[in-house]
Structure 1
Amino acid sequence: MLPGEERVIDKDIIYICPFNAAVKGKVFITNYRLYFKNTDSEMPVTLDVPLGVISRVEKMGGASSRGENSYGLEITCKDMRNLRFALKQEGHSRRDIFEIIFKYAFPLSHGMVSCAFTKVCVLFFCSGCQGVPNSEWRITFINKNYELCDTYPTILVVPYKATDEDLKRVATFRSRCRIPVLSWFHKENHAVITRCSQPLVGMSGKRNKDDERYLDLIREANGTTKLTIYDARPNVNAVANKATGGGYEGDDAYQNAELVFLDIHNIHVMRESLKKLKDIVYPNVEESHWLSSLESTHWLEHIKLVLSGAIQVADKVSSGSSVVVHCSDGWDRTAQLTSLSMLMLDSYYRTLRGFQVLLEKEWIGFGHKFASRIGHGDKNHADQDRSPIFVQFIDCVWQMTKQFPTAFEFNERLLVVILDHLYSCRFGTFLYNCESARESNTVSLWSSVNSDTSLYINPFYTPESSRVLYPVASMRHLELWVTYYIRWNPRIQHQSPVEQRYKELLVLRDQYLKKLEELQLSDSTPSSTHLTNSSTPNAATPNQHITHLQTPF
């Protein structure tokens, strides 16, 4: 067990396995996980489910239930699994287990904290853009007490000519006071990626001269004639937001800007899409209608639109034009677009440490609502705020690693581990909605990852510092991430990762090289000189053997 983990209850139980017959065993519930182990067969059957992964727990059957294994519990998980357990009706076993799971899986509904372990210092990354501050951009501490915007980080980078008083006035015209601030700076052409929320235009078409001037300062910082504003939403949604006081930048008010809508749908559409995907991959995969079923989920179509939007952002910045990226509140689709475009533009973020920095900065620091989107510790499984926005982003990253297998220092295992702990609540990294909500420091996922980086290194990685990656955002080139979405189905025979085989070959190579070096040393001793000199002219030397062995790897 983990430090701080304590056993709460254990009971005899039957696991209703969707792939085999019912399995008798014992369930152990701690303040962190549900663990099941079989007791009635030679083949081991185990389940290890962090309680934070549980989305819903329901009782099945009643006192009058007479069918075999019809009385028990059904558990719906956030990681594509559904689990069913049967219990005996006598002895209140079901009630005891139900109450314990409900208490520890949904601690917020019981006035408890959602992380059960020792609090230590969080691993904090501060990644200032290279080349900043300069004559065009400055660092401001106006938000040091979260007074300007409570969902932004304390340190912001803004146009050099914009005063702190300007920032306050601009904040009044942006949703949630999320003003345009710097995310990434191109060292060579000085184009930038900035992020914000929608302007508060409303039905009356309100204008704000300070906001208009502020966006012009972003444009002037690198001398481009036009600033491109990428609105992640479909046009019709942006227009509809005017009814609730939001909207978009009109041509009349922002004459030096070009507005582009990226047609990425909202959190509700994404939630329903992933739900449909779960229905077709667990517990059974229907072979005869697989392609049509997958198409009906629209999941890969959404992946395509997000990737396509990020490609447009990266291409515009690479060509020397600055951009502003926003959606409605600037913490969902905006984070997807800025972080993916930065992965395409900047090789640093494609390293193991750089990717951690990217998530800390663009997702955690800038206030993606992890607690609300995942529903940490909350029993309300039907909450309309829940949505797989971060899962979708990680899927996009995986698509890029498939198309550029040598461009990323980290491997697929890291992406799966990140998503596992997105739900587990073992670490504080993804527990909160924003930086200001962190009342105390918690254990960081990165401290665990960095304790053994060899597990997450891609052996094919070849650093290319200046290369911009442009993935193909086409349905013909996108794939369902089977390793993640269908990993719980034992009927799907997963292939061993090619990276693992490659690592094994590298180890074998090193062993051969070591033996050859030993032979070379022994050949250099006086006793072997005569044998070496009398060898045939065509005999290969140890060095030639080494060269030959190195070639295939």
Structure 2
Amino acid sequence: MEFSDLIRTANVQDVVLRQPFHPSARGTLCITGHHLLFSDQDSSSSQQVLLLLLRNIDAIEKSVENLMVTPGPSSGTLTIKCKDLCVLQLDIPGMEQCLNIAHSIEALSSLDEVADMFPFFHRPSNASLQDRWGLFSPQHHYDRMEALRDRWRVSDVNRDFTVCPSYPPSALVPKTVNDKMLLKAAKFRQAGRFPVLCYYHRKNGQVIMRSSQPLTGANRKRCQEDELLLQAVIDGSDKGYIIDTRSSQQAQQAWMTGGGFESKSGYPGWTRLHRQMERGKALQESLIKLVEACGDQTNNMDRWLSKLENSKWLSHVQTALSTAGLLVECVERDGHSVLVHGSEGTDCTLLISTLAQLIMDPSCRTIEGFLTLLEREWVQGGHPFQQRCARSAYSYGRLQQESPVFLLLLDCVWQLWHQFPQALGFSENLLVRLANEAYASNYGTFLCNSDQERCAMGVKEKTHCLFQALLKPGERELYSNLLYESTELAIWPSVHPQSLQLWEGFFLRWSQQGRHLEEAQEEMRTMIQEWGRVALR
């Protein structure tokens, strides 16, 4: 397929652009295979005032005027709603040109073929395709942690992705469990996601494991290898905990479709705890309602608060943080290992395990540590980014598998950053950047739904890595928290309603209020940098 086949009108002159925080501009609009470009004709240098990745466009609203009025030419207005929540308006002369532009944008912004997406064409001047791709390797992690070697090993049982398509080729498992046992345990877990180690607590040697649900079904099937695997995790300990991100009723209902949960008889050393977390359609609809509330222009405080509450977004934030807190209590305070799973183990499971590690482990709170954590738990951990982030809050399409779980994670991390402004080594800007990149990116990090798909598409050979780009000196400085002071202590977030705030830096950043907040933060950053320079003299 040629991109030119989808472009009905490549450029239009005398277009008026309206965008947040900028005066209206008149100029030339151009469409390429991946971008919408606008150049201001009033500038002596034909200044480019817009370069919009088409993948970032979530919805287009068309309004055509003067169709029945013969004296004046027809014209049209396109309202472009982006996945990063920015809303732009284009006034285009000529009805036909307006509709052609709209059709071209709609076709190019919704390409399904991964190889046609911009990361495969992006070639930054300061990077090479031969550069290292990614930050985390299970083998490297194992080699660096001597404490793991007594009871754990690196298994390559999934090296060809046939055991579990959504797992990476290597995984950390108990040393007493061989690969034949892993193969049988994988068949007993949904989509082959057998229990793997994702965190080792240096203070007490306890671990966090994650998996998908066991396939017990209505017949209450058992798998000796899976039971032995989990027994090996708590060998020598009195018990472990299983945190199921479904309600007890949901777990019971899963029996009817072949799923289920771990029985007391099969896993005698494990205690099961249920913490229901919304996912899928319910979470996506919550985001839609929140964005609608944030766009309410009535300035009625009671109405705004009512809409915010009805969206239930902050309730999801509260549930995620409190469930992660429960996991930390089990590992940090009580000294017990934990297995986390829901149904598939690709969404809420990753959310909870990531937040728990961030709360407990100071090495996860630096920029590099946090990005490594995201790569291990989300990119290699099998979160289906392409499905979950296909559309954002404005799309009129019927919901399929979209769900803002990763955005919810970033909001929860922001709550930690807000409550502990000196404990995290990165700034709010990094969280906003990651949210944008998950939905539309120049880089290949969030492409596809699994490591298997990325390998099949040659993502690591043909695209650049976002995390490596963010760690380059200029970028690292931009996303550093200048107030950061490392602490070995756990950072326990408050989950009381009055302690949780709307993430204005993301959800309100295109409003005037958000603009003032951004200006204030930039001024504070400048002041801190100046104080630092004075202190060094």
Letter matched to residue 506 of structure 2:
Y
SS at match of 1:207: coil
The reply on whether 1:469 has 2:471 as its aligned counterpart is no
Residue equivalent to 1:449: 470
Deviations 1:88-126 (A, max 9, x none): 335x31243224323431222698345332482423422
Mapping 1:203-218, distance limit 5 Å:
203-218=218-233
Conserved in 1, the CA contact under 8 Å of 2:190 and 2:215? yes
Letter matched to residue 136 of structure 2:
F
Mapping 1:2-151, distance limit 5 Å:
9-15=11-17, 24-36=26-38, 46-61=49-64, 64=67, 71-90=76-95, 92-108=96-112, 112-113=116-117, 115=119, 116-118=121-123, 120=129, 121=131, 122-126=133-137, 128=141, 130-131=145-146, 133-151=148-166
Conserved in 2, the CA contact under 8 Å of 1:15 and 1:24? yes
Mapping 1:140-539, distance limit 5 Å:
140-220=155-235, 223-282=236-295, 284=297, 286-288=299-301, 289-318=303-332, 319-375=334-390, 381-438=397-454, 439-440=457-458, 441=460, 442-451=463-472, 452=474, 453-464=476-487, 466-490=488-512, 492-495=514-517, 496-498=519-521, 500-508=523-531, 510-511=533-534, 514=537
Letter matched to residue 194 of structure 2:
I
Conserved in 2, the CA contact under 8 Å of 1:131 and 1:187? no
Change (3 A) 1:475 1:227: same
1:259 and 1:461 mapped to 2: Cα distance?
37
2:109 and 2:522 mapped to 1: Cα distance?
36
Letter matched to residue 73 of structure 1:
L
Conserved in 2, the CA contact under 8 Å of 1:132 and 1:138? no
1:275: Cα distance to partner? Answer: 0.2
1:500 and 1:13 mapped to 2: Cα distance?
35
Conserved in 1, the CA contact under 8 Å of 2:246 and 2:275? yes
Conserved in 2, the CA contact under 8 Å of 1:11 and 1:93? no
1:216 and 1:448 mapped to 2: Cα distance?
41
Change (3 A) 1:304 1:512: closer
TM-score, length-scaled by structure 2: 0.85
- Percent identity over the alignment? 30
Letter matched to residue 507 of structure 1:
E
Give the paired residue count: 502
Whichever of the two has the greater Rg, that structure is: 1
Conserved in 1, the CA contact under 8 Å of 2:66 and 2:75? no
1:325 and 1:343 mapped to 2: Cα distance?
16
Change (3 A) 1:68 1:346: farther
TM-score, length-scaled by structure 1: 0.83
Letter matched to residue 212 of structure 1:
E
Q: CA RMSD in A?
A: 3.1
Conserved in 1, the CA contact under 8 Å of 2:198 and 2:377? yes
Conserved in 2, the CA contact under 8 Å of 1:428 and 1:444? yes
Conserved in 2, the CA contact under 8 Å of 1:202 and 1:244? yes
Conserved in 1, the CA contact under 8 Å of 2:241 and 2:273? yes
Conserved in 1, the CA contact under 8 Å of 2:423 and 2:486? yes
2:434 and 2:486 mapped to 1: Cα distance?
23
Q: Which moved more, 1:355-364 or 1:197-206?
A: 197-206
Change (3 A) 1:74 1:166: same
Residue equivalent to 1:550: none
Change (3 A) 1:114 1:231: farther
Letter matched to residue 441 of structure 2:
C
Change (3 A) 1:284 1:109: farther
SS at match of 1:108: coil
Letter matched to residue 136 of structure 1:
R
Conserved in 1, the CA contact under 8 Å of 2:504 and 2:514? no
Q: Which moved more, 1:245-254 or 1:116-125?
A: 116-125
Change (3 A) 1:12 1:336: same
1:19 and 1:513 mapped to 2: Cα distance?
37
Change (3 A) 1:231 1:513: closer
